[in-house]
Amino acid sequence: MSVALSRRLIHVVALLVFLVPGSFALAEVVNVYSARHYDVDQMLYDAFTEETGIEVQVLEGSSDQLVERIRREGMASPADVLVTVDAGRLWRAEDAGILQPVDSEFLNDRIPAYLRHPEGLWFGLSQRVRVIYYSPERFDPSLVSSYEDLTRPELEGRICIRSSNNIYNQSLMASIIEAHGAEAAEEWARGVVANMARSPEGGDTDQIRAVAAGECDVAVGNQYYYLRLVNSEDPADRAVAQQVSLIIPNQEGRGVHVNVGGAGVVAGAPNRENAVRFLEFLASDQAQELFANETYEFPVVDGVEKHPTLEALGEMKFDELGMDVLGRTNPEAVRVFDRAGWR
């Protein structure tokens, strides 16, 4: 048998061991089910393996698909770690009963309490903030200093924003419910709907492009989508970014809305110790710098060097509402959107 063929067979056997529920666990491996799809993720996996000798095997999919798969696989699941984005999705995994508590002194010391589950079911590992974009040529930024200002009559027919099905918007709504109550949050949602320039469509980058194209004057999106355009190798992307400015909202009040990319150890993890080591590595300075410099996400650890364009956003006040609260409020946020007619 040739060396090349032998290597292929080893690879196939390893893959089958990972993908087939109930199969035995490989030594020195951590099996990651990931709903993150960023280039930096492979860099993180490689760095972890180099530091620990533990191989990272990854199965990618949407968050809902992976949660359901782990739920179906039960205690026979090969999954050790679930990685996903947004507090609402972390809550869905928690609610499905597929995560187990982790008591790590390292994680508890490194990650602020509001960014992790109070019982250690999951940990926020990168932060993103939801900002307001505007056209500096067509819009007076003094009109808006908060999310609440998006209902002002001067903004009628001028706002682009994603649909209510979007988990990022659902978490923003959850934060508004927690700040003002469901009734006031519904009134806010109706005001934003009345000010929309078009029916909700597309992703966060599409909202920024719409402002640049003159389809609307104001939009809402996470900061890293804008920074991707700023740092793109494509001149057309950079040209879009040059036509848009941003507002960091609610700096005089509760702070800008924060969400996380995070992870938890799966309830039946066959490689639990390796899974915990993997989470601890993601909270290390090395990993946190990769988040901040490759995906333009805010680190969860203080003092980590950030990409210059992320640093250029300046100091800002974060809303330190617990991510677990955002998650628990997600079902109410969906109901509020539905009542307000936000599609």
pLDDT tier, 23 (very low <50, low <70, confident <90, very high otherwise) = very low
SS3 for 225?
A: helix
Tell me what the mean pLDDT of segment 195-215 comes to: 97
Tell me what the mean pLDDT of segment 148-155 comes to: 98
Residue 6 lies in a domain: no
Least confident piece of the model among 5-9, 79-83, 235-239: 5-9
Number of domains in the chain: 2
* 101 lies in the same domain as 183: no
* 186 lies in the same domain as 334: yes
Domain of residue 242 covers 129-256+325-340
Q: Provide CB contacts within 8 A for 233, sequence distance 6+.
A: none
Asked if pLDDT for residue 91 goes beyond 60, the answer is yes
* 252 lies in the same domain as 135: yes
Residue 175 lies in a domain: yes
Q: What local confidence, expressed as pLDDT, does residue 135 receive? A: 98
DSSP string, 228-277: HHHT-SSHHHHHHHHT-EEE---TTTT-B-EEEEEEEEETT-TTHHHHHH
Q: What local confidence, expressed as pLDDT, does residue 17 receive? A: 45
| More confident call, 193 vs 27 | 193
Question: Which residue is associated with the tokens 């932060």?
Answer: 127
**Is 168 annotated in some ligand binding site?**
no
Residue 4 lies in a domain: no
Rounded to 5°, angle at Cα 140 from 221 and 191? 55
* 219 lies in the same domain as 298: no
* 83 lies in the same domain as 174: no
Tell me what the mean pLDDT of segment 120-142 comes to: 98
* 148 lies in the same domain as 123: no
* 158 lies in the same domain as 37: no
Q: What local confidence, expressed as pLDDT, does residue 101 receive? A: 98
Question: For the domain that residue 79 is a member of, what is the CATH number?
Answer: 3.40.190.10
* 214 lies in the same domain as 71: no
Q: What local confidence, expressed as pLDDT, does residue 27 receive? A: 57
* 330 lies in the same domain as 191: yes
Q: What local confidence, expressed as pLDDT, does residue 306 receive? A: 94
Percent of the chain with pLDDT over 90: 91
- Which is nearest to 303 in space by CA: 316, 317, 284? 284
CA distances from 13 to 51, 78, 254 (A): 25, 14, 53
Residue 101 lies in a domain: yes
Q: What local confidence, expressed as pLDDT, does residue 213 receive? A: 98
**Is 37 annotated in some ligand binding site?**
yes
Residue 63 lies in a domain: yes
Asked if pLDDT for residue 9 goes beyond 60, the answer is no
Alpha helices in the chain (DSSP H): 3-19, 39-52, 63-73, 87-95, 105-110, 167-180, 182-194, 204-213, 223-230, 235-242, 272-282, 285-294, 308-311, 323-328, 330-340
**Is 225 annotated in some ligand binding site?**
yes
* 167 lies in the same domain as 177: yes
CA distance 112 to 124: 9
Taking only the tens place, the pLDDT of each residue in 258-304 is 999 999 999 999 999 999 999 999 999 999 999 999 999 999 999 99
* 143 lies in the same domain as 111: no
